[in-house]
Each structure stands twice: as structure tokens, then as C-alpha cells.
């Protein structure tokens, strides 16, 4: 792969953000297989789970078991979502490490993700606290994690519209993103949780945030509720964003955003980026990812919503039929 500035990093969120909003609850062993398959398909950053209460998000139960049994492929990051200090302690309990000087190499992952929102209404529905209170809770979490040698990634939800309060002021997104960067996040993912974004609103939001935060520290996280996710991905790339979150097979959504559909599918993002004339590059084996998307969708008893995945599979099946017909005529 080229190391040019047009290399796009894909953060695969299916095993966490995807699964957490699926009705079906799958076993830790299936999650392990999903993560392993994604790693062998060439993805370099794969969300492995979340230390949230299984009482509220039962789909994330078993994260400790997943981290213990999944394959750790060299060069691949396996971030886990840590909502608060209790979640961080749960991660540390998986290691003998107990002092801030300890190396993260003793932990089952080298990265955590923390999250907040751009509106108080969404934050209260999600974590029962305001945005300011959320940020105050996250500062010591980030500080301790960094002291232990962990990378910290931030998420900001509802950067375009909020399901409870409507249109979101881009200036608020800028302020919250800056707070996360200041507390040590190496990158902040900007989430169009409702999927209401369009190229114009996404452009306006990113330009506002980039007035205070280097665009190299921003990532795009788009949901496909209105079919705009790929257009929004390409808009973000045109503004200099080089990290895109996506979910295999278009899994998931957000349990606190009624009506929001799944994340943009990894297969769709890769198809757009790997197109010969796109001007961008990204790592990932499309054929392998198409197979994974259909496999995990079957495990969940749901339809695969990746448009590219369906098209690639249909083309493959058509070619196989033609080959069989050609051999039968010999």
C-alpha cells in the first residue's frame, strides 16, 4: 500500500457499534470469529467490544472473554469502548498491571474509546448526565489510560441532528471535539448518529470543527438512514479527513436514536475508496469482506444491507453459473 496522504484508514466498528444495536445476542465465540475474520481480511483497526453494563446493552456481554480468546494479529489495533472509570477498571482487571508506569502490552488491547455527545438531551438519554458532566467524568479516564500507555480515541454523537432536540449547532460540535483532543484523544470520530447528514451539512460541520482541531485528528462516522452515508464519506475525504468508521454488512445503529438505521457498510466504503479513479486508497480484501458480511448477517438472522456486498456476491454467482454452463458445453 502507498503511504501517500490519500491512504484512508478504516475503523471497523461492526463487532461493537454494529452488534450493540442488533436484536439478536450472539455468543462470545461468534464475536471472536468475526473479529478474527475481519483481521485476516486486512483491516487494521477493529472495535472488539465494550465495557458497558450488560444490563443495559446485553449484546456487549462477554467482552472480557472475547479479548481473552481473539487472535491478536500484529499491526492491528483492537479498541474497546470504556464509558467511565468503572469500565476502565474492568479492562485493567484483565491484566496484572496495576501501576501507571505499567506497559499496555500486559493488557489485551492497546486502545480504548470514550464517548460523549454534542447535545445535553442525547447525553442524558445515553449516560444520564449533561455534556459538561460527561466530559468531567471522561477526563480522569483518559488521563489514567494514557498513563498506562493506552491510545485513547474519542467519539462525539449527534453532530448533525439530535433525535431529542433537532438541529445541532456545529460550534457545539467544535467545542466538544476540542475538549476531547485537549484531554489526550489522538483522534475524535464525528458521528452522524441519526444519519440525517447531507454533503452540505457535513461540510459545514467539519469545516467548523477543523477551525479549532487539525483535520488529521478527525474521523467520520456516518449512518445510512437516508442513503447519504457514502456521499458524506466522500465529502469528509474531500475536506482532508482520512479515517472513516464503518460496519461490516451495515450492522447496527444506535439504541438511543429511535429509527436510526445501521452504520455505513464497510464493503460500500471500500468499494468507493478502492475505485480506480477515486484518488484514495484503503486496505482490505473486498472478496473476503463480502463473505464476512453475509456470514455475520446469517448468524444474526438479518438481511445484509451492504449494497456493494450484494452486488459483488451477485456478480460472483453469475460468473460461477456461466463457468458451469461453459464447462457443460465442452
Q: What is the pLDDT of residue 97?
A: 43
Q: Is pLDDT of 289 > 50? A: yes
**Sign (positive or negative) of CA dihedral 263, 266, 267, 271:** positive
Residue 122 CB partners (closer than 8 Å, separation 6+): 157, 158, 162, 163, 164, 165, 193, 256, 257
pLDDT at 229: 97
Reported confidence tier of residue 151, pLDDT bands at 50, 70, 90: very high
pLDDT greater than 90 at residue 254: no
Residue pair 219/186 in contact (Cβ under 8 Å)? The answer is: no
Q: Cell 473476503: give the residue.
A: 288
* The pLDDT value given to residue 327: 73
Confidence of residue 232 (pLDDT cuts 50, 70, 90): very high
Phi-psi region of 145 (alpha: psi -120 to 50; beta: other; left: phi over 0): alpha
CA distance 289 to 34: 11
What is the rounded CA–CA span in Å between residue 31 and residue 34? Answer: 5
Domains of the chain: residue spans and CATH: 7-329 (3.20.20.70)
**Which percentage of the chain shows pLDDT scores above 70?**
93
Summarize pLDDT for 47-69 with one digit per residue, the tens: 999 998 888 888 999 999 999 99
The whole-number average pLDDT for the span 230-257 is: 91
Q: How confident is the model at residue 153 (pLDDT cuts 50, 70, 90)?
A: very high
**What are 73-112's pLDDT values in tens digits?**
999 999 999 999 999 999 999 985 444 444 555 899 999 9
The helix or strand, by DSSP H or E, that contains position 315, with its residue range, turns out to be helix 307-328
Q: How far is CA 62 from CA 3, 20, 27, 94, 245, in A?
A: 37, 12, 8, 13, 23
pLDDT score of 279 more than 70: yes
Average pLDDT over residues 34-55: 95
Whether residue 254 lies in the annotated active site: yes
- Given the residues 129, 162, 185, 254, select the one marked as catalytic: 254
pTM of the entire predicted model: 0.93
The band of 325, judged by pLDDT with boundaries at 50, 70 and 90, is confident
| Per-residue pLDDT, 31 | 98
Task: Supply the pLDDT for residue 260.
Answer: 65
d(CA 35, CA 46): 7
The proportion of the chain whose per-residue pLDDT surpasses 90, expressed as a percent, equals 84
Residue 103 has a pLDDT of 52
**Tens of pLDDT along 159-206?**
999 999 999 999 999 999 999 999 999 999 999 999 999 999 999 999
pLDDT of residue 2: 40
How confident is the prediction for the chain on average, in pLDDT? 92
Which of 221-231 are b and which e, b meaning 16 or more Cβ less than 10 Å from the residue's Cβ? bbbbbeebbbb
- pLDDT for residue 4: 52
Give the mean model confidence (pLDDT) for residues 252-266.
Answer: 75
Q: Is pLDDT of 330 > 80?
A: no
Amino acid at each position: 500500500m502507498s503511504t501517500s496522504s490519500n491512504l484512508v484508514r478504516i475503523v471497523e466498528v461492526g463487532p461493537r457499534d454494529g452488534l450493540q444495536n442488533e436484536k439478536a445476542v450472539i455468543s462470545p465465540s461468534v464475536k471472536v470469529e468475526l473479529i478474527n475474520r475481519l483481521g485476516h481480511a486486512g483491516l487494521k483497526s477493529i472495535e472488539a467490544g465494550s465495557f458497558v453494563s450488560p444490563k443495559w446493552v446485553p449484546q456487549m456481554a462477554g467482552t472480557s472473554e472475547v479479548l481473552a480468546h481473539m487472535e491478536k494479529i500484529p499491526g492491528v489495533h483492537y479498541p474497546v469502548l470504556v464509558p467511565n472509570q468503572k469500565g476502565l477498571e474492568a479492562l485493567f482487571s484483565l491484566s496484572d498491571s496495576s501501576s501507571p508506569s505499567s506497559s499496555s502490552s500486559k493488557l489485551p488491547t492497546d486502545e480504548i474509546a470514550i464517548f460523549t455527545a454534542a447535545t445535553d438531551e442525547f447525553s442524558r438519554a445515553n449516560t444520564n448526565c449533561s455534556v459538561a458532566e460527561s466530559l468531567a467524568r471522561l477526563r480522569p479516564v483518559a488521563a489514567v489510560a494514557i498513563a498506562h500507555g493506552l491510545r485513547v480515541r474519542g467519539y462525539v454523537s449527534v453532530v448533525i441532528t439530535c433525535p431529542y432536540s433537532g438541529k445541532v449547532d456545529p460550534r457545539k460540535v467544535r467545542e466538544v471535539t476540542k475538549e476531547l483532543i485537549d484531554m489526550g484523544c489522538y483522534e475524535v470520530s464525528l458521528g452522524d448518529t441519526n444519519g440525517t447528514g447531507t454533503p452540505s451539512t457535513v461540510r459545514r460541520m467539519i469545516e467548523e470543527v477543523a477551525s479549532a482541531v487539525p483535520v488529521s485528528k478527525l474521523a467520520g462516522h456516518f449512518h445510512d438512514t437516508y442513503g447519504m452515508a457514502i456521499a458524506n464519506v466522500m465529502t469528509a475525504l474531500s475536506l482532508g479527513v482520512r479515517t472513516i468508521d464503518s460496519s461490516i454488512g451495515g450492522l447496527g445503529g444506535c439504541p438511543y436514536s429511535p429509527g436510526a438505521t445501521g452504520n455505513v457498510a464497510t464493503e460500500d466504503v471500500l468499494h468507493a475508496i478502492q475505485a480506480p479513479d477515486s484518488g484514495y486508497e484503503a486496505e482490505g480484501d473486498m472478496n473476503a469482506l463480502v463473505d464476512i458480511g453475509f456470514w455475520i448477517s446469517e448468524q444474526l438472522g438479518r438481511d445484509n444491507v451492504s449494497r456493494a456486498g450484494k452486488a459483488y456476491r451477485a456478480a460472483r454467482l453469475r460468473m460461477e453459473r456461466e463457468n458451469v454452463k461453459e464447462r457443460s458445453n465442452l
